[in-house]
Amino acid sequence: MFSTLLGPLPPLTPADAAPQTGPAQLTSILGELAGVGLELLATGAPPSSPDAAPTDVVAAWAAAASATDRPVKQVLIGPYSAGRSGGRTRPSAVAESLRSAVDALAAAGCPFVEIDESGALPIAGDETERRRFADAHRVLMRGGATTHVSLALTGGNFDTAGASTFFDLPYASYAFDLIAGPDNWRLVTAAPGDRGVVCGALDARVGGDESPELLVWAAHYAASSNGRGLERVGLANAPSLAELSWSVAVRKLTRLAEGARIAAIDSPREMASLLDPRAFRQRRERPPSARGGVAAQEAE
């Protein structure tokens, strides 16, 4: 059971145009994320471009890893999302470049590589786009990987793309946005039990639900599906925190880490003492439309 960040962070101060990545800024950002209790860190910078040289990608990860004693993941833009931007039209060609970066990160000791497909929502309703997506990821993951590689799907419901689109690929884990895409619970429950699942269940919107009860429920439901167990479950925000102020983003990540800590408690009595039982009763009583769609209703 762990907590992690999904997507970019906002600037450290309103005067900054974007999150900074100099040594002092990295130390500050990663120190603050570790301080709130996140177990798997990220710099909060936008995902690395497929045009970046593998040596540059490794250098960026190494700089972040040296600024903290917590594990740090490297986020790469997915081949489909990259292939739809910047005039690129062949996600499979992009995947070849990304594969070089993944191999270089693995060789350097990076423990966790996240493939960010936040621009892949067209595959949910278009079979041709779905084939392009799957073909690109088969190239990227050809032969497997020597480090943990995770596929992150955010921005909406991907369940209509079909479980096999994702789980026929040899990713070690998957991150699903359960806020913008509540019907992604169908994919969580379909994920093979030997794959990890990161539940993007902390609402990143201003005024969004930050209660630990929802996070604990999400973690344990994901753990119960296909005998996965809590050791293969993580919690994250969804979608990106980039539009918030730094202080609000940190507050939400603090709540996220707190929820993950509670979800990991072995003693049911101790866990119950930290939660409000009324939240679970209200969740049962609320209609499906208020609980996040059909998949959430089925999950209960």
* Predicted local confidence at residue 23, as pLDDT: 83
* Predicted local confidence at residue 88, as pLDDT: 57
Domains of the chain with CATH codes: 2-299 (3.20.20.210)
pLDDT tens string 223-275: 999 999 999 999 999 989 999 999 999 999 999 999 999 999 999 999 999 99
Q: How many CA atoms lie within 13 A of 156 on its CB side?
A: 11
* Predicted local confidence at residue 64, as pLDDT: 96
pLDDT band of residue 279 (cuts 50, 70, 90) is low
pLDDT tens string 68-79: 999 999 999 999
Distance CA 11, CA 119 (A): 22
Distance CA 197, CA 292 (A): 19
The DSSP 8-state label assigned to residue 293 in this structure reads S
pLDDT tens string 26-48: 999 999 999 999 999 999 999 99
Distance CA 265, CA 267 (A): 6
* Predicted local confidence at residue 298, as pLDDT: 42
Q: What is the mean pLDDT of residues 160-187?
A: 98
Q: How many CA atoms lie within 13 A of 43 on its CB side?
A: 27
Kindly state the helix (H) or strand (E) to which residue 74 belongs, with its residue range.
strand 74-77
Q: Would you say the pTM of this structure is higher than 0.85? A: yes
CB burial class (10 A; 0-12, 13-18, 19+) of residue 98?
Answer: buried
Tokens found for residue 117: 């497909």
Kindly state the helix (H) or strand (E) to which residue 112 belongs, with its residue range.
strand 112-116
Angle CA(261)–CA(263)–CA(268) in degrees, nearest 5? 115
pLDDT tens string 50-66: 999 999 999 999 999 99
Kindly state the percentage of the chain with pLDDT values over 90: 81
Distance CA 154, CA 94 (A): 20
The DSSP 8-state label assigned to residue 49 in this structure reads P
pLDDT band of residue 12 (cuts 50, 70, 90) is confident
